[in-house]
């Protein structure tokens, strides 16, 4: 009985040892690996472990992002740079680490960007251009008028005539594989033609006219918008229809030649003396619009704001002038409303 017990005990020990995949407890692993940078993408690397006596692996790619646990792995770094790649090999006997400093340099996609400047231009038909793109090797400007340029910084561009144009900058990577684009819309005016047109004598339009920029159901010459919808349209009084406005010279001196004004609380005409001419400037409000900026009101409205109204020029054609401005609602000053006025030539 004693002999049989010992034989059984030996078999158990032998069976347990053959079932363990780990190396002998005294064999500390040796961490090692090889790698290859992909030809098509310099930031993507194929890694393969050549470690010995390891029961588990931990990859750390040194960018505080990537980790892995398999024998072979492909990893793409987000940015170019030098990284300390660590491979840790471990088993029950201990751990061992291999470190390799790897520099990656792959293609960096360009970012197309530019701004428009009006600080140094000599004409309202000219637009200043400031290229702020990065990571680009070549550029192509399209100015929206059929003209192009492949200069990095063309400085400015002059248009032949008034209008709205879309400027596009295409910035391409040095290898030409990746292209990014940015577009900005801009309006320009021919000042000489503008002054010639604006210098005419204008009156409120008496026939229906649809303003392209705003909803105008009946084509009224004077209407008010609230929240983008027409709140009301005004039936113009005789004294308003008799008003005449002219804009002369670069500062557009306003000469009121009408009979009087409408009293808002009674909706009646009352003859008043013509006010003194008011000088105001024609200037840009944004990249896509121009304004007539005053210290006082004009064009029939008797309630100027604290700093005067800023009139946005909506349309200016040979026989049609459309302007608008934003003011506080006359009943609820917390709300804002837009007044739109349409004029025609004498």
Q: Which residue is listed with tokens 């303003």?
A: 211
- Quote the tokens at residue 178: 């990746």
| Cα within 13 Å of Cα(119), Cβ side | 6
| pLDDT tens-digit series, residues 94-151 | 999 999 999 998 878 899 999 988 777 777 788 899 999 999 999 999 999 999 999 9
Tally Cβ neighbours within 10 Å of residue 10. Answer: 9
Q: Which residue is listed with tokens 């399209």?
A: 142
Q: What are the backbone angles phi and psi of residue 46, rounded to the nearest 5°?
A: -95, 125
| Cα within 13 Å of Cα(18), Cβ side | 6
Pairing relationship of beta strands 260-263 and 336-345 according to DSSP bridges: unpaired
Please report the pLDDT score of residue 162 as a whole number: 77
- Three-state secondary structure call for residue 22: coil
Element (H, E) at 241: helix 238-241
Average the pLDDT over each of 171-180, 236-245, 290-299, 321-330 and give the range with the smallest value.
290-299
- Three-state secondary structure call for residue 215: coil
Please report the pLDDT score of residue 273 as a whole number: 52
Q: How many Å apart are CA 241 and CA 258, to the nearest integer? A: 8
Q: How many Å apart are CA 167 and CA 190, to the nearest integer? A: 18
Pairing relationship of beta strands 56-60 and 67-68 according to DSSP bridges: antiparallel
- Quote the tokens at residue 80: 């170019």
Please report the pLDDT score of residue 266 as a whole number: 52
Beta-sheet strands, E only, within 179-280 = 179-188, 201-204, 222-226, 229-233, 245-248, 253-254, 260-263, 268-271
Mean pLDDT of the chain: 77
> Are the CB atoms for 170 and 176 separated by under 8 Å?
no
Q: How confident is the model at residue 252 (pLDDT cuts 50, 70, 90)?
A: very low
Please report the pLDDT score of residue 6 as a whole number: 38
Tally Cβ neighbours within 10 Å of residue 130. Answer: 12
**What mean pLDDT comes out for the span 149-158?**
95
Q: Which residue is listed with tokens 């105001």?
A: 280
pLDDT: is 274 or 71 the higher one?
71
Whether the predicted pLDDT of 262 surpasses 90: no
pLDDT: is 164 or 255 the higher one?
164
Whether the predicted pLDDT of 204 surpasses 70: yes
Q: What are the backbone angles phi and psi of residue 336, rounded to the nearest 5°?
A: -110, 145
Please report the pLDDT score of residue 267 as a whole number: 60
Whether the predicted pLDDT of 332 surpasses 90: no
Q: Could you tell me how many residues make up the chain?
A: 346
> Are the CB atoms for 235 and 222 separated by under 8 Å?
no
**What mean pLDDT comes out for the span 12-20?**
36
């Amino acid at each position: 009985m004693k002999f049989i017990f010992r034989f059984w005990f030996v078999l158990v020990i032998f069976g347990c040892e053959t079932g363990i995949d780990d190396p002998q407890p005294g064999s500390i692993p040796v961490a090692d690996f090889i790698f290859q940078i992909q030809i098509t993408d310099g930031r993507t690397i194929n890694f393969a472990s050549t470690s010995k006596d390891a029961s588990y692996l931990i990859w750390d790619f040194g960018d505080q992002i990537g980790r892995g646990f398999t024998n072979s792995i492909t990893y793409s770094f987000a940015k170019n740079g030098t990284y300390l790649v660590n491979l840790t090999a471990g088993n029950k006997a201990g751990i061992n680490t291999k470190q390799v400093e790897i520099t990656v340099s792959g293609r960096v996609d360009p970012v197309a960007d530019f701004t428009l400047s009006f600080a140094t231009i000599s004409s309202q038909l000219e637009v200043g251009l400031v290229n702020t793109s990065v990571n680009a090797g070549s550029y192509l400007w399209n100015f929206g008028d059929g003209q192009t340029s492949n200069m990095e910084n063309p400085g400015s561009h002059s248009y032949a005539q008034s209008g709205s144009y879309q400027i596009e900058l295409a910035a391409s990577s040095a290898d030409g594989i990746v292209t990014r684009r940015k577009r900005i819309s801009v309006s320009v005016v021919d000042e000489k033609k503008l002054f010639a047109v604006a210098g005419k004598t204008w009156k409120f339009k008496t026939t229906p006219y649809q303003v392209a920029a705003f909803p105008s159901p009946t084509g009224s010459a004077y209407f008010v918008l609230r929240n983008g919808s027409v709140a009301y349209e005004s039936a113009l009084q005789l004294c308003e229809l008799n008003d005449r406005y002219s804009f002369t010279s670069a500062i557009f001196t306003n000469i009121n030649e009408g009979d009087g004004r409408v009293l808002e609380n009674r909706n009646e005409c009352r003859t008043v003396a013509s006010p003194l001419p008011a000088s105001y400037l024609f200037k840009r409000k944004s990249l896509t619009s121009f304004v007539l900026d005053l210290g006082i009101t004009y064009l029939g409205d008797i309630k100027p704001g604290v700093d005067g109204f800023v009139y946005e020029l909506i349309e200016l054609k040979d026989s049609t002038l459309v302007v608008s401005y934003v003011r506080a609602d006359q009943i609820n000053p917390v709300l804002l409303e837009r007044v739109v006025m349409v004029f025609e030539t004498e």
